[in-house]
Amino acid sequence: MHLNPYGADAVLLAVNLVNRPATTPEELIEWCEQSAVESPLVRERRVTAADVDAVHIALEEWLRVVDAEDEQTRVDLVNAMLAKYTEHPRLTNHAGDGWHVHYRPDHVPVGRLVATLISTGTALHLAGRGITRLGRCATEGCGKVYADLSRTGRQRYCSPACANRDAVRRHRARTS
């Protein structure tokens, strides 16, 4: 079975890279490996400072998607990223590992590869789960980004710790 590298893992990679930016090629490799997104492909390539810079640019574009104030703006921004970073979909079979769909050219720098994964994964995430399923943490002063993978689609916090902190704050406000 071939897992889809363009799905939820790619959106979570974007979340992780925004909330904890990679500042070196080694960190970019580590974050990709932790997110299980095309990590062998990243590990097999030389990752440079230019790749880190390219990922930062793509993440700035991605944050505009997260912060979009309405659905149409969000869709337009995702479509712009798809136009910039992806290629026509096509079937491929790397060294016999199984047929799957690629949205990128075969030989691109790691920065472009990550940008392709993020843009395609985001489009699939929003189309499959709901156009509102990206956001910023509701805890005052946090501002971290989350991708809502919940069953109900009502996530408002970046982590259980922030949700608990906000619940305690609200409880104290009611009881004082």
pLDDT tens, position by position, 48-84: 999 999 999 999 999 999 999 999 999 999 999 999 9
The rounded distance, in Å, linking the Cα atoms of 98 and 118 is 22
Number of other residues whose CB lies within 10 A of the CB of residue 147: 24
The interaxial angle of helices 25-34 and 110-129, nearest 10 deg, is 30
CB 149 within 8 A of CB 128: no
* Rounded distance between C-alpha atoms, residue 65 and residue 76, angstroms: 9
Higher-confidence residue of 8 and 135: namely: 135
Residue 150 C-beta-side C-alpha neighbours within 13 Å? 15
- pLDDT tens profile 135-144: 999 999 999 9
Q: Which numeric CATH code is attached to 8-134?
A: 1.10.3300.10
- Alpha-carbon distance of 36 to 110, in angstroms, equals 15
Alpha carbon distance 52, 109 (integer Å): 10
Per-residue model confidence as pLDDT tens digits over 91-105: 888 767 788 888 877
Residue 159 exposure: Cα atoms within 13 Å on the Cβ side: 9
Residue tagged 């920065």 (tokens): 111
